[in-house]
Amino acid sequence: MSHDPAAALAESVRHLIDATIRTLADEETITAARHQIDAITTRLTADAIPGWYGVQHGDGMPPAAGNVVIGARNAIAVPLTVEQRDDGGVVTDFTLGAGYEGPAGHVHGGICALILDHVLGAAVHQPGRPAVTGTLTVRYRRPTPLGRPLRAEARIRDSEGSKTFVEGSISHGGDVTVEADGIFLFPKR
């Protein structure tokens, strides 16, 4: 895939989100920054596609570039890079910052569920045949820390007809913080 300047812009916006949350700047500085951001937003939206990025085709970027979990163009995406393991499972290592906070100093549980939904689905996904979530059961074992290395992994447990049963977890330093089980389906075309 070629370099996408919009993906680099999204990374800068991720840093901006973090700075916006943590800034202690004075009102004048914040107001000036807001005016600059509003002006840039006006420039960028003057030539924007209609609708959603995932339905665009023919621009050389994968449809997932706008995805809320892995999208290189989506500034609120982590983004995760999910890798296949030799045993057929999947794994991704990542760190979450201030934009994903729930309880003080920890990742919001909904973000953990979002990540696990994606990673469990990635274990089932087949090229040209994406799987969709039928059910997802999440169990929170301990708080998931912000700003620390995290790992999410998943593996297929069983298949029965059109259903694929998957399990996975998020961990920090080898300690599981969140577990999930899901049933994934391949939609009929």
Domains of the chain listed by start with CATH number: 1-73 (no CATH), 80-185 (3.10.129.10)
CA atoms of 176 and 92, how far apart (whole Å): 14
CA atoms of 91 and 157, how far apart (whole Å): 15
Positive or negative, the Cα torsion across 55, 50, 81, 2? Answer: positive
158-176 residue pLDDT tens: 999 889 999 999 999 999 9
Instruction: Say how many residues make up the chain.
Output: 189
18-46 residue pLDDT tens: 999 999 999 999 999 999 999 999 999 99
DSSP state of 165: E
Question: What's the predicted TM-score (pTM) here?
Answer: 0.88
61-86 residue pLDDT tens: 666 888 899 888 899 998 799 999 99
